[in-house]
Structure 1
Amino acid sequence: MSKGDEVDAILLSVEKDQSNSFNAVLGATIAVCIVFLFISAYFGEYISSNVAESDATESSYVKLEDRYMQDYVTDGEFGYVIDEGPYSLLETDNEYGSTHYFVEYELPESEGGAATDPNDVPRISLAVWLPSAVTEGIKVPVIAESGPYFQEPSVQTDSIEVPGSWLGTMIIEQILPHGYAFAQISVTGTGQSNHCMDLMGTAEQLGNDAAVRWLAEQNWSNGNVGLIGKSYDGSTPWQAAMFGSEHDYLKTIVPISGLIGVKELMWRNGSAEARAPFMHNGVYGSYGLDGDEEDHQNMCPDYVIGPGTGVSAYLLGSEIFGDYWAERYFLDRVIDNYQGSVYLIQGMHDWNVDPHMAVPTINMLKDAGIEAKGLFGQWDHDYPDRPQQLYDRSDLGGRGGEAFPEMIRFDWMQDLY
């Protein structure tokens, strides 16, 4: 065979191999196409249906800036989210889906009460509700409410393991399904928390911080905690935010008509309200006294000096002796230490916790570099999203009734998470 014939033979062999390879690829491609067409024919309707449902779900959400054209829905018990979350409440041993815990913490001996009881240690009572997301190994953030009204005989409230009708039920039904845990916390000296009711003093502040740390450090938690509440329960978030230089667990607070300081509630512009001398032991003095063996812990130093401090400040106009009021002023330490955000909510017709708790507070926060926004409107000492309460209590002639129901969008909760 000549050299030219050899080359032709080699080229012919290569072309044959390429042709075989091409035919194999073509055959495989045709087979895949046939399978794909079969799948499309079989599942096409199902896939199209699900895409349509997905598009419908996405289109049901209306951006905040576009909601002014939406109807005001005022026939529910409380605010609502526009989009339903994918998770359910995780079941527990009780019918409420909660689990109760005690959190032990340290108090200085100067606080007396449980700090010096040889047979006891300071502890905080709290209950937790978890979303089903945790069963999938997902770590979740925590929303918590801390206050004196859980399982408290003085106000005849249910066990802390029962969602509070004033806030807990709403969060569990509306926000927990989006992948949030929820907790209710009894402040010191109330409910099953021991020590004494010191009216927002050092012991209560340390107890709130201990609860925040505990919630952030659980194996189901992602380490992010937010505190929300109204009135007294809207003051405890300010307390917890004072510890921002020690850890970054507390990511946001939502004080609703909360106190930036106790004295600031009743003294301003050089005068005092009539309730000022009696606020501590007159209003909250019976909290924690339920006939059990821990009642003696309520005789802590701040509980004893509280009434006298109130009377002296009422007569003299300022703090002449001790640091009772300075200990209960939160805003300065929040500005110095807090690294999270603040969502201030305030009724501008609230004459219990006056609007000066929110303005100029929000300006001071922003000036300090703290991310802050506000929700202010024409309502009384109420949650902003309770249509019936706003209707009943926001009377004409100075209580905001003129604005009902356009005081607030009742779907405001959509923007809490």
Structure 2
Amino acid sequence: MNVRRRITAAAAGALITIATLAVSGPATAATPSSTPVHDGITHEENPRVPEGAVWTEHYFPSADHSGVELHADVLRPANLPQRAITPVILAVGPYFGHAGQTGPEGWAQTGPSNRFEDFTSGTNLFARGYTYVMVDLRGFGGSTGCLDWVGPGEQADVKAAIQWVAKQPWSTGKVGMYGKSYDAVTGLVGNNLRLPALKAVVAQEPVWNMYNYLFSNGVPRPNVTGTPNAYNGIATMAGLSDDSDRYKANADYEVSHPECLADNLTNNNNPDLDSPYWRARNLAAKAKGTSTPLFITQGFIENNTKPEDAEEYLDNHRGFERGWMGQWEHVRGNETNGAGQLLQGRAGFFDEVMRLYDHYLKGAKPSVQDPAFAIEDNTGGWRAQSSWPTSASSRTTADLLNGQYVDDGIASALAANADADQQWDMEHYTDPSPLAASNRAPMQAAADTHSYFTWSTPTTSRVRITATPDITLNASATGNVMVRLWDVAPDGTAVMFDENVALIERAGRVTFDLKSTDWTFELGHQLGVQLGTIGSGSWRDTPSGNTIQVSRAKLGLELQNPRYDVPTQGDRSPFLDTYLRQFTRTLTDVGEGTFPLAVRGRP
């Protein structure tokens, strides 16, 4: 079936043809050709089309034979013949709707999303001979179907998108994926699918296990309902008035299928990590044995897609890896603030990305040797490593003191002013500042019934905690537990640099990871380990009211000697100072310490 669609030209208001599309038949049919019969729309005809590109639209079925129809916006180099073959950069996600990324943006006419126009223009992508394709996940933009929170349905969408672009007559069959946040998650999915056509993935600030965005070890996060509501809102955005009838009908799919919205609010409201629902969405576990070349970015103090299960994903992945990891918020590698500072602190992001793509999609050997991993620690200094974590780190286990706390939901410091009714999408949510952040209020450590501390002895040389700390403990009763790690200076000034929580479902042994971190302790500093109740503003926990006695607690750490760092270029990321202002306190009654914090075997 051929569909002709029309658009209002920007300059004169005249009607012009965008494309005649060959679209799919029934979902059970073979994957159809979807090649436009003419050259599509240029920037001169529609200013929403990037300069140097030609825009066409296409439809094709998802890979799960569900009847879901996917929509793609294709941007081809304008200086090439229609069927000139090029490698393809693919982005798949919920943010490519014609009306806007996360809400209506007031466009006067339809056109392709500008979500990654910074990437296509900043790399001269079209002049370099690449095609760029944006595919709407099911339920979003011009695609039908019920949104699926990166489940089997959306994984089938990613599979279909990769296979479809690889088979087009203008494609070399070599595909790279690009994204940040949700559309970085789909890049991780692409790697997990093990498709030969996918040659490289760039994933900035992804979620490594979808469970962790809504829950933490059985404890609901405050966005457990806000996030599904936000994506319901994105999924119900209508097409624009000059979109084709087909696009508008697909965009209205969730409106005409309200069960999709209802299911999205209930299906993922399950705190059990081991349930079939969450096992299907545990991308870190499903990465075992995969080998697609991978370039990731991850902020250790991320306020949105936090560094949980990143280490497991990278450990399970066996292919080429490159990464930028440091002290930033939820930002892109090229992003700057109003003062022109790079928000991740390191220059040359697009250059490194294109060296990766040129190598694996074009076979061009890079003339510059980039470090495998560039890491920024809390001092703002950058170092190069061959892997993350590095094999040069030393595993140690600290025995913590026995103690007790009252699980009443009254955290003694850093309670977050969270609004459980706010609709948070993965692209824009940031943690609220702690209530007491402005005055750095002193925190009574020893006499607090809501938590207790164990202290390391003062460091005798600089030492770094890296990778992913973990905790095991025996709890005497059901309830909740929070573990926080503090960097404490000799004068009691302390920064909370890592934390996580867990539900104690039954009395006995509890084990869980904290967030991945990279934090250097100066000479004479102590590590403070705080165990206690969960602040009710930070998580949507239900306090048990129990007095919980803790015994046989052990903290697992990876330690690194900064003396052996190999410096690499990079400036202090601006968010680090914001974080330090928010999470610095004065701790009183600091103990002398019961365990050392030192790298064994390397002076």
Q: TM-score, normalised by structure 2?
A: 0.44
- Structural mapping, 1:132-211, within 5 Å: 132=78, 134-135=80-81, 138-151=84-97, 155-157=103-105, 161-164=111-114, 166-174=115-123, 175-211=125-161
What one-letter code is carried by the residue in structure 2 that aligns with 1:387? Answer: T
Inter-CA distance 124–199: structure 2 relative to 1 (3 Å threshold): same
Contact 1:256–1:345, Cα closer than 8 Å, also in 2: yes
Q: Distance in 1 between matches of 2:263 and 2:256?
A: 15
The offset of 1:300, in angstroms, is 5.5
The offset of 1:195, in angstroms, is 0.8
**Structure with more of its chain in helix, by fraction:** 1
Is the counterpart of residue 376 in structure 1 residue 376 in structure 2?
A: no
Is the counterpart of residue 236 in structure 1 residue 183 in structure 2?
A: no
Q: Distance in 2 between matches of 1:342 and 1:289?
A: 33
2:168 is matched with: 218
What one-letter code is carried by the residue in structure 2 that aligns with 1:103? Answer: F
- Structural mapping, 1:81-96, within 5 Å: 92=41, 94-95=45-46, 96=49
Inter-CA distance 213–310: structure 2 relative to 1 (3 Å threshold): closer
The offset of 1:126, in angstroms, is 0.9
RMSD across aligned C-alpha pairs, in angstroms? 3.0
Partner residue of 2:285 out of 321, 332, 343 = 332
Partner residue of 1:346 out of 287, 298, 302 = 298
Number of residue pairs matched? 291
What one-letter code is carried by the residue in structure 2 that aligns with 1:285? Answer: N
Inter-CA distance 206–353: structure 2 relative to 1 (3 Å threshold): same
- Structural mapping, 1:276-287, within 5 Å: 276-280=224-228, 282-287=229-234
Q: Distance in 2 between matches of 1:191 and 1:177?
A: 28
Contact 1:288–1:298, Cα closer than 8 Å, also in 2: no
1:413 is matched with: 350
What one-letter code is carried by the residue in structure 2 that aligns with 1:372? Answer: E
Inter-CA distance 300–327: structure 2 relative to 1 (3 Å threshold): farther
Q: Distance in 2 between matches of 1:406 and 1:197?
A: 32
2:201 is matched with: 253
Gaps of 5+ in 1: 1-89, 109-114, 116-120, 393-403
Contact 2:336–2:343, Cα closer than 8 Å, also in 1: no
Q: Distance in 1 between matches of 2:55 and 2:199?
A: 23
Is the counterpart of residue 125 in structure 1 residue 125 in structure 2?
A: no
Partner residue of 1:289 out of 214, 223, 236 = 236
Partner residue of 1:308 out of 266, 281, 286 = 266
Partner SS for 1:283: helix
What one-letter code is carried by the residue in structure 1 that aligns with 2:351? Answer: Q
Q: Distance in 1 between matches of 2:294 and 2:178?
A: 10
The C-alpha deviation readout for 1:172-212, integer Å capped at 9, x for no partner, is 45223211111111111001101111222221111121111
Contact 2:297–2:324, Cα closer than 8 Å, also in 1: yes
Partner SS for 2:127: helix
The offset of 1:312, in angstroms, is 4.1
The offset of 1:250, in angstroms, is 0.8
Q: Distance in 2 between matches of 1:200 and 1:272?
A: 19
The offset of 1:275, in angstroms, is 1.3
- Structural mapping, 1:27-38, within 5 Å: none
The C-alpha deviation readout for 1:112-131, integer Å capped at 9, x for no partner, is xxx3xxxxx32111111112
Partner SS for 1:227: strand
Partner residue of 2:336 out of 384, 387, 391 = 387
Inter-CA distance 249–297: structure 2 relative to 1 (3 Å threshold): farther
The C-alpha deviation readout for 1:281-340, integer Å capped at 9, x for no partner, is x22123333575633664557x54443344441xxxx247x522112222333324x342
Partner SS for 2:154: helix
2:585 is matched with: none
Q: Distance in 1 between matches of 2:344 and 2:188?
A: 26
Contact 2:88–2:133, Cα closer than 8 Å, also in 1: yes
Q: Distance in 1 between matches of 2:215 and 2:80?
A: 47
Q: Distance in 2 between matches of 1:149 and 1:133?
A: 28
Contact 2:211–2:278, Cα closer than 8 Å, also in 1: yes
Contact 2:301–2:327, Cα closer than 8 Å, also in 1: yes
Q: Distance in 2 between matches of 1:196 and 1:178?
A: 37
Q: TM-score, normalised by structure 1?
A: 0.62
Q: % of aligned pairs identical? A: 19
Contact 1:344–1:358, Cα closer than 8 Å, also in 2: no
